[in-house]
C-alpha cells in the first residue's frame, strides 16, 4: 500500500522594497503544476499572513495551484509603516508594492483574491495588469464608503476599548498593532475619505470576476459586490451567501474554497478552450 505524499511545507521569503521588507509565504500543492498561475491573497485592514490560518493551504490543494500571501508594509512581520495612510492607499498597493512583489517572486500571470479592503486593492491590480491577471475574486470588498461600513467601524472602535483587544492584535502585528488599528479606523472615518470609490477603475478590469459577499456582512451591503460585478468589463458573477458575515473564508472555509476552485476550473478551462479553438 502506497502512502499518500504529504504536501510540502509553506515557504517563507522576504521581499526587499525601498520602503521596507515585506514578509511573504508561499503554499504549493502536493501535485504542483508549475505551468499554472499562482493565486495571490490580499488581506483586510487588520489582516496578516497568519490570520489567513488554514485557508491558503486548503485552497492550494483544492485549486492545484501555488498560493501566495504577504503582509503589507506595516502589518504582520513586514517592516513598520509610519504616518497615516494616504487617501490613495488602495490604489497605491497596485502601483508601489505589487510590481516589486511580482518581480522578485518571478511570476508573470496570476489570479487575485482580495478580502475586504484587499478586494479593492485586488481590483486596482487587476486593472493595472489587465494583460496578466487571469481572474479576480473579491470577498466582502468595499466598492465605496457606505454608511453601513462606517457604522461597523465605529462599533469596532468602541469594542476595541475593552481590555485585551490590543493584545489580540499584538499577537499578529507585534508593536505595530496600534498603528494597524488606527490606520483602519482613522482612514475610513476621515471625512476626506468619504468620496472614495472604485467606479473609475472597475471598467478597466477585463478578466473573469467572482464577487463574494456575506448577506449579513456588518461592513457593507450587497450593493458592493453587485456594483463590482456590474461595472467590470470581463464576465462576472455575484455570490451573496446567506447567514455569512464579513469573513466568509473563515466562517465557512470549505464552502468558499469549493466556490473558488470551481469558478477557476470552469472559467480558466473555458478560456483555454476558446484560445485553442
Q: What is the pLDDT of residues 217-271, one digit of tens each?
A: 999 999 999 999 999 999 999 999 999 999 999 999 999 999 999 999 999 864 4
Residues 6+ apart with CB under 8 A from 130: 204, 205, 206, 207
pLDDT of 225 reads 98
pLDDT of 273 reads 41
pLDDT of 32 reads 55
pLDDT of 33 reads 63
Q: Would you tell me the crossing angle of helices 177-189 and 147-159 to the nearest 10 degrees?
A: 150
pLDDT of 1 reads 40
d(CA 99, CA 269): 27
The grid cell for 147 is: 454608511
163: exposed, middle or buried (Cβ count in 10 Å: 0-12, 13-18, 19+): exposed
The grid cell for 152 is: 461597523
20: exposed, middle or buried (Cβ count in 10 Å: 0-12, 13-18, 19+): middle
Q: Which of 154, 193, 185 is nearest to 169 (CA)?
A: 185
d(CA 189, CA 153): 8
d(CA 49, CA 52): 6
Quick one: which H or E segment has residue 262?
helix 253-276
**Domain ranges, ordered by start, for the chain:** 11-276
Q: CATH for 11-276, among 3.40.50.1820, 3.40.50.2300, 3.30.465.10, 3.40.50.2020? A: 3.40.50.1820
| pLDDT under 50: residue ranges of the chain | 1-2, 270-277
Amino acid at each position: 500500500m502506497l502512502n499518500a505524499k504529504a504536501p510540502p511545507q509553506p515557504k517563507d521569503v522576504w521581499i526587499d522594497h525601498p520602503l521596507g521588507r515585506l514578509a511573504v509565504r508561499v503554499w504549493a500543492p502536493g501535485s504542483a503544476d508549475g505551468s499554472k498561475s499562482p493565486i495571490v491573497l490580499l488581506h483586510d485592514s487588520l489582516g496578516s499572513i497568519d490570520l489567513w490560518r488554514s485557508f491558503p493551504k486548503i485552497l492550494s490543494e483544492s485549486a492545484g495551484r501555488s498560493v501566495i500571501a504577504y503582509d503589507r508594509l506595516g502589518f504582520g512581520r513586514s517592516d513598520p509603516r509610519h504616518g497615516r495612510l494616504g487617501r490613495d492607499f488602495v490604489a497605491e498597493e497596485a502601483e508601489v508594492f505589487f510590481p516589486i512583489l511580482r518581480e522578485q517572486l518571478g511570476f508573470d500571470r496570476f489570479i487575485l483574491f482580495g478580502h475586504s479592503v484587499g478586494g479593492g486593492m485586488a481590483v486596482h491590480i487587476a486593472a493595472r495588469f489587465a494583460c496578466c491577471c487571469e481572474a479576480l475574486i473579491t470577498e466582502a470588498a468595499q466598492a465605496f464608503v457606505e454608511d453601513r461600513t462606517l457604522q461597523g467601524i465605529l462599533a469596532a472602535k468602541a469594542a476595541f476599548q475593552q481590555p485585551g483587544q490590543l493584545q489580540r492584535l499584538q499577537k499578529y502585528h507585534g508593536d505595530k498593532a496600534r498603528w494597524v488599528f488606527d490606520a483602519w479606523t482613522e482612514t475610513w472615518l476621515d471625512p476626506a475619505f468619504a468620496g472614495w470609490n472604485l467606479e473609475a477603475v472597475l471598467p478597466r478590469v477585463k478578466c473573469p470576476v467572482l464577487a463574494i459577499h456575506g448577506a449579513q456582512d456588518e461592513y457593507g451591503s450587497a450593493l458592493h459586490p453587485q456594483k463590482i460585478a456590474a461595472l467590470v468589463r470581463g464576465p462576472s458573477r455575484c455570490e451573496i451567501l446567506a447567514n455569512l458575515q464579513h469573513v466568509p473564508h473563515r466562517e465557512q472555509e470549505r464552502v468558499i474554497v469549493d466556490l473558488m476552485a470551481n469558478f477557476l476550473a470552469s472559467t480558466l478551462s473555458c478560456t483555454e478552450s476558446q484560445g485553442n479553438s
